[in-house]
Structure 1
Amino acid sequence: MLEENGVKSLVIEGRNAVLEAFRSGKPIDKVYILDGCQDGPIRTIVREAKKHDTIINFVTKERLNQMSETGKHQGAIALAAAYEYAEVEDMLDLAKKRGEEPFLILLDNIEDPHNLGAIIRTANLAGAHGVIIPKRRAAGLTATVAKTSAGALNYTPVAKVTNLVKTMEELKEKGLWFVCADMEGEVMYRVNLKGPIGLVIGNEGEGVGRLVKETCDMTASIPMKGDIDSLNASVAAGVLAYEIVRQRMA
């Protein structure tokens, strides 16, 4: 284990071990490669890292030696998220266990790990049963996310799915309906947010993708009176999540 800012990451050493970690789908935060090394296995690791949008750091042998726990790094060390992803079914089971209607938060295009961590923290405090993120174009469960979540990652399930739209359609069959945060939507106070619900949040730049938005049952907007046109994604998630909480309590 390597500790970074009080958050532990798993250290994976050696070419075969790093390559297998990528191929097994284990969430890798960063990979450290011996600078200047160009042989076949190293090139394969670099290719896998790029395919998985993993941060690649080319470093000296001395740096790798410092990080190594076995002394047998072979020019490659990966840091894996010390947190495992959950399944969407786990979230529905959690809702059932609590005797509550499911409340999920789905994130589309949230690439900033600080935003993801803050949303997981809000999800926990608002009583959401889980957070769903897509595999592509999304921050994963990195050390930064864990730290920003202030411990919520230990309690709130996070699932990573291949296709957000397909997951939403499957959840609709189980009785959930979806509301999308959108500036052009109905003001949130006028939208019925009760019942089994999935709240969909996009990033502040592009918002929610077209196909995901079309799969939603309705859109809700946050009234804004200022001079700028959007809220930070994690703040928007918090405002809408607590409107859901308010309506459920009422």
Structure 2
Amino acid sequence: MKRRGHRPSIGTANRPRFWGRHAVTSALANPERTVRKLWGTREALGALDLPPGLPVTFAEVTDLGRLVPSDAPHQGLVAEVDPLEEMWLGDLLEHGRGDRRPLVVLDQVTDPHNVGAILRSAAAFDALGIVTQDRHAPPESGTVARSASGALETVPWVRVVNLARALDEIAEAGFWRIGLTGHATQTLAHALNPLGVDRTVAIVVGAEGEGMRHNTQTHCDELAKLPISSKVESLNVSNAAAIALYAVASRQD
């Protein structure tokens, strides 16, 4: 099929290791994911329906701990996997044509825990996918997979070279781009109210601490803030994304 629109970035050639029951079992259940090796305790492996031909190694808990970062909660399971095939933004937008699922666009969100948590929220609120800039976002990793609690296997993740051009393509596909920033004069609810339930929305959130870059803000249709108390300067980016996705979902009820 001929590819259209914004090209994907070049993915990592490294094979990440996933750990934890949700991350590993979700990877095994994903037909698009290739699992190369699996280590586990006899108890943890005995609870799995393993595909034929997969190299499996029984290991003690202490041995598994040497395969993953210090103090990683592996729950008796570690897997080595191939990264998922890169997805084109144009293909994702075409896949969502005709429905009302929102997009989440991350402007240089680099913490893998936050990206994983946003993937989990995107799955919970049935988002079409997430979009990140390739040079300023974490690759697939055990930390992302663990924080996503299985959502890394179900929520499409598009990496793009130029976020501004990607936002233009998103607008051309009919999405109303709302950037979240504490400097906005209106709340997210006010920004959503005039749109109607059939208008698709792309929520744009900025980096931890620094927020959205000015160039990203200029490629949003409007800016909005969450109505948080003055006692708190800001919310964690993953919490803000979850609240925004809830607001969009509530609008569609």
What TM-score do you get using the length of structure 1 for normalisation? 0.65
The answer to whether 1:235 aligns with 2:245 is: no
Alignment gaps of 5+ in structure 2: 1-14, 25-65, 68-79
Q: Which moved more, 1:223-232 or 1:187-196?
A: 187-196
Cα deviation digits, residues 8-49 of structure 1 (max 9, x gap): 6xxxxxxxxxxxxxxxxxxxxxxxxxxxxxxxxxxxxxxxxx
The answer to whether 1:169 aligns with 2:168 is: yes
Task: Within 5 Å, give how 1:100-111 maps onto structure 2.
Answer: 100-111=99-110
**Cα distance change of structure 1 residues 247 and 215 upon mapping to structure 2, 3 Å threshold:** same
Residue 114 of structure 1 aligns to a residue whose secondary structure is: helix
The answer to whether 1:86 aligns with 2:100 is: no
Contact 2:17–2:81 (CA<8 Å) still a contact in 1? no
**Cα distance change of structure 1 residues 209 and 155 upon mapping to structure 2, 3 Å threshold:** same
Report how many residues are paired. 179
Post-superposition offset of 1:226: 4.8
The structure where strand makes up a greater share of residues is: 1
Contact 1:181–1:221 (CA<8 Å) still a contact in 2? yes
Post-superposition offset of 1:94: 3.2
2:129 alignment counterpart: 130
Q: Which amino acid aligns with 1:82?
A: P
Q: Hey, which bits of structure 1, 4+ residues long, moved more than 6 A? A: none
Q: Which amino acid aligns with 1:88?
A: L
RMSD value, Cα: 2.2
Post-superposition offset of 1:2: 7.2
Post-superposition offset of 1:84: 3.0
Q: 2:201 aligns with which of 197, 205, 210?
A: 197
Contact 2:179–2:205 (CA<8 Å) still a contact in 1? yes
Post-superposition offset of 1:204: 3.4
Contact 1:103–1:198 (CA<8 Å) still a contact in 2? yes
**Cα distance change of structure 1 residues 88 and 102 upon mapping to structure 2, 3 Å threshold:** farther
Contact 2:93–2:170 (CA<8 Å) still a contact in 1? no
Alignment gaps of 5+ in structure 1: 9-65, 68-78
1:207 alignment counterpart: 211
Post-superposition offset of 1:91: 2.3
**Cα distance change of structure 1 residues 2 and 197 upon mapping to structure 2, 3 Å threshold:** closer
- Cα distance in 2 between the residues matched to 1:154 and 1:147: 11
Post-superposition offset of 1:136: 1.6
Residue 94 of structure 2 aligns to a residue whose secondary structure is: helix
Q: Which amino acid aligns with 2:149?
A: A
1:147 alignment counterpart: 146
- Cα distance in 2 between the residues matched to 1:151 and 1:110: 20
Contact 1:85–1:157 (CA<8 Å) still a contact in 2? no
Contact 1:90–1:157 (CA<8 Å) still a contact in 2? no
Task: Within 5 Å, give how 1:25-44 maps onto structure 2.
Answer: none
Q: Which amino acid aligns with 2:227?
A: P
